[in-house]
Amino acid sequence: MQEFFQHTLNGLSFGSIYALVALGYTMVYGILGMINFAHSEIYMMGAFMCFYLARFFGFNTPSPMNFTLGLLGAGLATAIIGFSVEKLAYKPLRNSPKMNSLITAIGVSLLFQYGGQIIFGADPKSFPTLIEDAALFELAGIQIHLIDLIIYGVSFASLAALSFIILKTQTGRAMRAVSSRPDMTPLMGIDNNKIISMTFIIGSVLAGIAAVLVSIKYPKIDPLMGNKIGMSAFVAAVFGGIGSLHGAVVGGLLLGLGEYYVLGYGASTYREALSFCILILILIYKPTGLFGSNKKEKI
């Protein structure tokens, strides 16, 4: 029973990371209809940018202030990167067949991975300790650690901020509008390009935050670290219903739990395949996922 609880906690911890990254995939798909393969690399860049910024500006010792600076730094860096990728690589292809955008996204993803290996070096680096971990208290027989609480806390705060933006602000309303009728929104004075950029920025910031959260718990970072997270997060987004924000969150949490149960009780070497199996099963039996909607093509 204790083990189950431990797996559950770990699962939720990782699940909230998946949720943050999955939101990026789902928002871009909802607004542009494309799968942003390069999103996992933006996540990776979040970790690396924070690493270099911390080193350069000297905030690589544990303290709440430094941790916050780290989050801000990562968020800012990923916002800029995400914005640039969209403007330079995806915008020219907005009116081309979907396949072209997908191929370009793959190209951008590989470019970051291998460019990262060249520029940063392929060996894993040690992420600075921005938070000193401590076992805080016991709950149901297992230790609750500070870092885990912080992961839950920051994730929750980010999701709350996102909800606020989407539901209560004009930008959020505009984003929802462009998602459903991009042909009509210009008629209402909405600049689609600005909204699309905004979507990428928000998704990228969430990925950057997620990267910092992961890195304070697992401090080894390398240019290929986006791959596994990216795939799982993408599966989570599809599982929850691609295009649906609730879906991304629920999907992320459930997938995180699922992976940790498999890890804990089953064959850990098959963990990688788990997300793919789930993905394929979903796509076969319920392609719209948990919360997705079926958009029928006009005949």
Partner 1 sequence: MKKLIIFLGSVIVLGIVLNFALNSYIQAIVISFMINAIMALSLNVITGLADQFSLGHAGLMAVGAYTSAILSKEVFADHWYLIPVTVLCAGLTAAIVGYLISLPSFKLKGDYLAIVTLGMAEIVRVLLLNWNHVGGPRGYNGIIKFPEFSYAYIFVVTLLSLVFVACYRLKYSWFGRNLWALNEDDIAAEVMGLDLTKTKRQAFVISSFMAGLGGGIYSHHLGYISPNSFSFLVSTQILIMAVLGGLGSMSGSVIAALILTILPEALRSLPTGSLDIRMIVFPIILIAMMILRPQGIFGRSELINFCKEKKWIKS
Q: Which residues of the shown chain bind partner 1 in the complex (CB under 8 A)?
A: 34-35, 89, 92-93, 96, 98-100, 102-104, 106-111, 114-115, 117-118, 231, 234, 238, 267, 269-270, 272-273, 276-277, 279-280, 283-284, 287, 297, 299
Long-range CB contacts for residues 59-66, cutoff 8 Å, separation at least 24: 59/130, 60/128, 60/129, 60/130, 61/128, 61/129, 61/130, 62/129, 62/130, 62/131, 62/132, 63/130, 64/131, 66/130
Least distance in angstroms from the C-beta of 250 to partner 1: 19
Q: Considering beta carbons, is residue 16 or 104 the nearer one to partner 1?
A: 104
Q: Residue by residue, what is the 3-state secondary structure of 38-85?
A: CHHHHHHHHHHHHHHHHHHHCCCCCCHHHHHHHHHHHHHHHHHHHHHH
Least distance in angstroms from the C-beta of 231 to partner 1: 8
Q: And the tokens for 30?
A: 């909802």
Q: Considering beta carbons, is residue 157 or 267 the nearer one to partner 1?
A: 267
Q: Considering beta carbons, is residue 178 or 238 the nearer one to partner 1?
A: 238
Q: Residue by residue, what is the 3-state secondary structure of 237-261?
A: HHHHCCCCHHHHHHHHHHHHHHHHH
Confirm if 130 and 216 have CB atoms less than 8 A apart. yes
Least distance in angstroms from the C-beta of 100 to partner 1: 5
Least distance in angstroms from the C-beta of 98 to partner 1: 6
Least distance in angstroms from the C-beta of 69 to partner 1: 31
Confirm if 23 and 162 have CB atoms less than 8 A apart. yes
Q: Considering beta carbons, is residue 92 or 124 the nearer one to partner 1?
A: 92
Least distance in angstroms from the C-beta of 272 to partner 1: 5
Q: Considering beta carbons, is residue 118 or 188 the nearer one to partner 1?
A: 118
* Block residue for tokens 């949720």: 19
Q: Considering beta carbons, is residue 107 or 124 the nearer one to partner 1?
A: 107
